[in-house]
Structure 1
């Protein structure tokens, strides 16, 4: 039996009082903005914010940011597919309007070219000061309310490890080594795939200029983590920081 998951225009997910996503046995809105097939038994329905808020309020629930479900495969896929559905209107090669396949996932241009949902690779990682049991955390200039790990998008022609080394050097002016794959996570709200790494550095202090993307950079011990606002649960950054804090 097919279930339906309504999602707002900015990725707002309606949840119950307990925080579980709200699934409906029938289409929850008569006039959806977009509809996409997530799995054989799950359809995501894009609706306006007022409508998705009403659906949550009807069961004493609320709306939450999709980032809370960053490690939930089904919700992440639903948000990502609806985001793509709303962004792709024309074939980037010839400019013709697109139509979508019956599942709402693949766009087809005027010449029949198939346009699949785009995923942008990004790197993120936990950098530890060699021999000191402190990690490098920072506040981003655009999202300055919390501390997180160093991250950035992969440039054309780079492999993932090179991208992480470059991002750490550009943003913090530290040189890293021992780059090791940790894990990955889709980040549906921006269409990214976050690839996590760990690394070490001997550079306690910057060895050059930074690009200014970070407004505060600091070394943090396990004991100090509890006093800082950190990346939210559901994010790969939160998972990596938590794993490091609990490893002794």
Structure 2
């Protein structure tokens, strides 16, 4: 894999022969280095559609890069470049190094791409073959409980808080499961497994979830779930595989 990878604002790119299309010269904005042989460039509206037609490829949805470290890195760094153009200390324009990753402003302090940690996880009802799922007010599928880490929190504290705020349940025996970068929002998703004895909510919720349910394997098979590339989908299917 060598050359220039083009992604639009929705992180769409072109696949040819089952691999991301790389071109011999950059298009659009400034190129950022992904590795020794690969650069990434943000392109304007319609460019990906034109590129797919020109090279006879297919357009890949932005979420499909999650399992590919190079593509995920490209999406994350380009997002950082899109959002951070000025030094937060003095407002001067940022100048990026030759790789297009690390920046320096008028305050001369090095600025690295921002990563926002978020927690997500399985909450299993103790002694039962059921997990807690919620449907966000803005979505039409059921997923796991998730949220961003607050300043001063440990990851475990953040997950326990999110479970309580969103579902009114107390999360116990919180254990690390795994992680996944989520470049569309600049996040790093950290997955956990926990248990609870609270069948019903023990406290008021924040209203973020329109519906909260306990679901077993037979229930989950009938529910709309998160996209296949997401850590939520991986965690749910992993739990199903063990039950």
TM range (shorter): over 0.9
Provide the TM-score with structure 2 as the length reference: 0.95
- Answer yes or no: is the 8 Å Cα contact 2:3–2:23 preserved in 1: yes
- Tell me which residue corresponds to 1:125: 121
User: Which consecutive residues of structure 2, in runs of 5 or more, have no partner in the other structure?
Assistant: none
- 1:66 to partner: Cα distance: 1.8
- Answer yes or no: is the 8 Å Cα contact 1:174–1:205 preserved in 2: yes
Q: Secondary structure at the match of 1:212?
A: coil
Question: In structure 2, do the counterparts of structure 1 residues 229 and 60 end up closer, same or farther at CA, with 3 Å as the change threshold?
Answer: farther
How far does the alpha carbon of each residue in 1:15-40 deviate from its partner, in whole angstroms, 9 at most, with x for none?
24x7x3423240253xx123110111
Of 16, 22, 25, the match for 1:27? 25
1:1-248 equivalences in 2 (<5 Å): 2-16=2-16, 20-27=18-25, 29=27, 32-142=28-138, 144-248=139-243
More displaced stretch, 117-126 vs 216-225 = 216-225
* Equivalences, count: 243
How far does the alpha carbon of each residue in 1:128-181 deviate from its partner, in whole angstroms, 9 at most, with x for none?
111111111111122x12111100000000000000000000000000101000
Provide the TM-score with structure 1 as the length reference: 0.93
Cα RMSD for the two superposed structures: 1.5
Distance 1:212 1:7 in 2: 35
- Answer yes or no: is the 8 Å Cα contact 1:91–1:97 preserved in 2: yes
Distance 1:213 1:34 in 2: 38
